[in-house]
Amino acid sequence: MSVKEKTQKKILYDQLKSDHHQIILYNDDVNTFDHVIESLIKFCDHTTIQAEQCTLIVHYKGKCSVKSGTLFDLKPRLEKLVEANLTAEII
């Protein structure tokens, strides 16, 4: 295994362990504001104000970080958001 491959594997491993992951929610032309707000409250534990602010950012900017944490915490939340027909990913 080359030094470059070892370095890449170490970086990937370090990323899995770190708490620096985020769920990014993207704008779409399908979901209503109410649906997005309700989903953020339900699946990301947002307050009403937080959910409304994130929804407006997504609408006007095209995307917004809606939750940060470990992959262990974020993966189930992402799955629920996607099941709710929202477009999101973990970065």
Residues 47/88, Cβ–Cβ less than 8 Å? no
* Predicted TM-score (pTM) of this structure: 0.80
Residues 54/25, Cβ–Cβ less than 8 Å? yes
Residue 91: per-residue pLDDT: 94
Q: Which residues pair with 90 in a beta bridge?
A: 23
Residue of 83, 75, 90, 69 lying closest to 35 (CA atoms): 83
Residue 22 has pLDDT above 70, yes or no: yes
Query: What gap in Å lies between CA 35 and CA 7, rounded to an integer?
Result: 42
Residue 23: per-residue pLDDT: 98
Residue 10 has pLDDT above 80, yes or no: no
Segment 37-87, tens digit of pLDDT: 999 999 999 999 999 999 999 999 999 999 999 999 999 999 999 999 999
Query: What gap in Å lies between CA 33 and CA 30, rounded to an integer?
Result: 10
By three-state DSSP, how is residue 88 classified? strand
The domain made up of 19-90 has a fold known as: Ribosomal Protein L30; Chain: A, (3.30.1390)
